[in-house]
Chains A and B, each alone.
Chain A
Amino acid sequence: EILMTQSPATLSVSPGERVTLSCRASQSVSSNVAWYQQKPGQAPRLLIYGASLRASGLPARFSGSESGTEFTLTISSLQSEDFAVYYCQYYNNWPPRVIFGPGTKVDIK
């Protein structure tokens, strides 16, 4: 069974800082990885799919990348509206299975 782990669990950041969030798969996986942002009381919001493709309308400060089993979400300059929890998600095409990571909370330093 594939597991997705995220680190760190919590990240305290000041506005304007560069943020790098990590998501690691327990075994080799395809690039079928997405990232979501969730704010309190809201549903998750799609940011990235296919490991590095931006969702429609997503600000350019968000980017995704991959290296082996590690997937990274980078926010180049954190804005006040970016404080939230970020989840990675892997989609296994066959048999269809979706695995979410436990999330990284980005809060104000």
Chain B
Amino acid sequence: QVQLQESGPGLVKPSATLSLTCTVSGGSMNDYSWTWIRQSAERGLEWLGHVYKSGTTNYNPSVNNRVTMSVEKTRNLFSMRLKSVTVADTAIYYCAREIDRGMYNWFDVWGQGTLVTVSS
């Protein structure tokens, strides 16, 4: 059974870069896309972007010029870097596995989430 686990700092200073890692255990990373989603009271659930199974990245325009995502299949992990953070980036960050079946896409496995607070 595939499990995902986010890791990273719980507290980040404004203007700094947030780096998160998601470790995948119990299964292969092949043939899936890998996604980051965050949740805050102000913005609800917000898709940040993904690394598509082909290796292509797609990002939400709301963070497009600040975010970078990557996958390291040999290490069974994927990562996200969000630069120039502000208090508005305070949220619970989830990693999730995306299944793409042509007509339909869905997120079937999620990490437990990690709370990131942006504060000086």
Residues B39-80 near A (CB distance < 8 A): 44-47, 50, 52, 58, 60
Residue contact A91 to B106, C-beta cutoff 8 Å: yes
Structural contact, A102 and B44, CB atoms closer than 8 A = yes
Instruction: Let me know if B50 and A100 touch, CB within 8 A.
Output: no
Q: Which of B44, B52, B107, B110 has the most CB of A within 10 A?
A: B107
Q: Report chain B residues within 8 Å CB of A44.
A: 45, 94, 107, 110
- A: number of interface residues (CB 8 Å): 26
Residues of A near B106 (CB, < 8 A) are 34, 46, 49-50, 55, 91
Q: If the complex has contacts A43-B94, A44-B45, A100-B47, are A95 and B58 also in contact, measured as CB distance less than 8 A?
A: yes
Within 8 A of B (CB), among A90-109: 91, 93, 95-100, 102-103
- Interface residue? A65 (CB, 8 A): no
Residues on the A chain within 8 Å of B119, using CB: none
Tell me which of B35, B104, B107 contacts A31 (CB under 8 A).
Answer: B104
Q: Report how far A44 CA is from B35 CA in the complex, Å.
A: 14
Q: A96-B52, A96-B58 are in contact. Are A34 and B107 (CB under 8 A)?
A: yes
Q: Which residue of A lies closest to B109 (CB)?
A: A46
Give every chain B residue within 8 A of A62 (Cβ-Cβ): none
A76 interfacial by beta-carbon distance below 8 Å? no
Question: What is the bound-complex CA distance between A100 and B94, given in angstroms?
Answer: 14
Chain A residues with CB below 8 A from B52, complex form: 96
The reply on A87 being an interface residue by CB < 8 A is yes
CB of A27 within 8 Å of the partner chain: no
Check A53 for interface membership: any CB of B closer than 8 A. Answer: yes
CA distance A49 to B107 in the complex (A): 9
Question: What's the minimum C-beta distance from A86 to chain B, rounded to whole angstroms?
Answer: 12
Q: Determine whether B14 belongs to the interface, using a CB cutoff of 8 Å to chain A.
A: no
Partner pick for A46 among B35, B45, B108, B113, CB 8 A cutoff: B108
